[in-house]
A = this chain, B = another copy of it.
Amino acid sequence: MIRVAVVGAGYWGPNLIRNFAACPDTELVAVCDRDEDRLAKVLRPYPGVDAIDDFDRILMRADIDAVAIATPVHTHAPLGVAALEYGKHVLVEKPLAGSVAEAEQLVHAARQANRVLMVDHTFIFSGPVQKIKQVVDSGEIGDLYFIDSVRINLGMFQHDVNVVWDLAPHDLSILDYLVGRLPRSISAFGACHANEMAGIEDVAYLNLDFSDGLLASFHVNWLSPVKVRHFIIGGSEKSIVYDDLEPTERVKVYDRGITISDDVEAKRGVMVGYRTGDVWSPHIPQVEPLSKMVAHFAESIRENKQPITSGEAGLRVVRILEAAQRSIKAQGGRITIWDDHELRRAA
């Protein structure tokens, strides 16, 4: 039984609290937040859990094995590093940190302390993404041609982060998980409207280049009158569409593509035709991704192994986010994320 403290009882914390309390492999022993009223409210259903308003007291408690951090982004690194140094395993809400430097501190601290560092990329544990991963890994998609992601709706909370840092971690973590290799460069665009003075982007586009023909594009938007959560993976053999708002058939595999025929018209050089086939929508078991995520954290600690959404995965996503941010400020100027040397080493 892993004994866990949740730090931060704001927007996301209660979800972690509920799942750590319910998970058979973990015991929720404490929740930490500076706001005592909020603490009292979220802990009402859990009379046996300690309410703690001082993070240092969490660090001191020897009976706490692991800490789950759901605080503002800029505090992820200082709190996480401290917890790791005190020998705790650490789970961090996405994004792992607010900068590459901070994310690297976390990864380094985890390695030094030989403790598990995991980032809560929740979507990785969802039924649709797990199913898509299976299909992609089976090879039936063929070569990856393009990935197009749209995550837009009317929705802005009072944030210190822009729409890229708020929404894109979901899609970039899915990209990282599915593709399994690194993009070379990014070009990104954004605009600030609702909160122009603060310079917080509410519309943004990210274009990632994988240097092998694969193009990945992401549209994130807080100003859209309609909600869209649409993810296309275009392949040479088959393609996948993942529509997260579709009530039952969220994932569809299309046996469709374009075929190149031999030269039939000398003038035109090639002859391109369609190939259309069946559509298959696999059954996806209904599971709560968060409960799977929490169980995976416990399992990683117990078996002393790297989680799927390891600190390194979190760092890779932050690296893309930071590059996106720089590119937006440079009006779309292309930013190298991983250079050729790094790409070769990673391959």
Contacts and interface: CB of A to CB of B under 8 A. Distances in A.
Nearest to A280: B280
A159 B269 CA distance: 9
A277 B248 CA distance: 11
A236 interface: yes
Interface stretch (A3-11, A105-113, A190-198, A293-301): A190-198
Interface string A221-246: 11111110000101010110100010
Contacts of A152: 148
Interface in A239-265: 239, 241, 245, 247-249, 252, 254-258, 260, 265
B213 A276 contact: no
A7 B249 CA distance: 38
A258 B222 contact: yes
Interface in A321-347: 331-334
B278 A278 contact: no
Contacts of A157: 272
A180 interface: no
Q: What 8 A-B pairs have minimum CB-CB distances, sorted nearest first?
A: A225-B254, A225-B239, A279-B281, A45-B45, A187-B332, A194-B258, A191-B215, A158-B268
19 contacts: A143-B193, A148-B221, A154-B258, A156-B258, A156-B274, A158-B271, A160-B268, A187-B187, A189-B207, A190-B215, A195-B260, A221-B234, A222-B258, A224-B232, A225-B257, A255-B283, A279-B280, A280-B280, A281-B281
